[in-house]
Structure 1
Amino acid sequence: MTNIHEQIMPDPTTWRLYGTVGCHLCEIAESLLLQAQAVADIRWQSIDIAELPEQEMLEFADKIPVLVTATKTLYYPFSIMDIIALS
């Protein structure tokens, strides 16, 4: 399994939310991130695992949504307080 913290992040201050289209848990995670942005300086991008190379896609397939920062990974379920604690 690839260590996602060792992958080169183009901008280490921008978090990644791994998910896919039609995933209701991913939609909840996005909503939590939007709420957290109201009180914390958080930048994030959604990454659709369907667009990743097959090996990476398979690593995330049964774990999404997954929130990755430069140093931490949160696997769902996570709360708004978990997100804010990362900021």
Structure 2
Amino acid sequence: MSKRGVVTDYDGDEIYPGDKVVYATRRGNGVRMADALVLKVFTRKLGGVVIPFLKIQPTGSESGFFKRKSPRVETIALIHVRLLEQSAVDID
């Protein structure tokens, strides 16, 4: 997050609505990797620190043996998120 107003992943790639990302998610007692589309990028101030968040829609492509039961929209912190593809979908 080197520039003001730009949210980046841990490698420095900028993330915008419509991008496809991969993130770590929990299922039961384990962790799996899942792909998702970014719907909204925003920040929240928690304990005096500004933390970036993403509102995402999972694509259904993820690691593990069992499929996700519901493709609900989720809000996640930007920690452990990696950009896969820029502008995968147009989000208005």
TM-score by length of 2: 0.28
- The structure whose residues are more often strand, as a share, is 2
Based on CA coordinates, which of the two structures has the bigger radius of gyration? 2
> Higher relative contact order by CA 8 Å / sep ≥ 6: 1 or 2?
1
TM-score by length of 1: 0.29
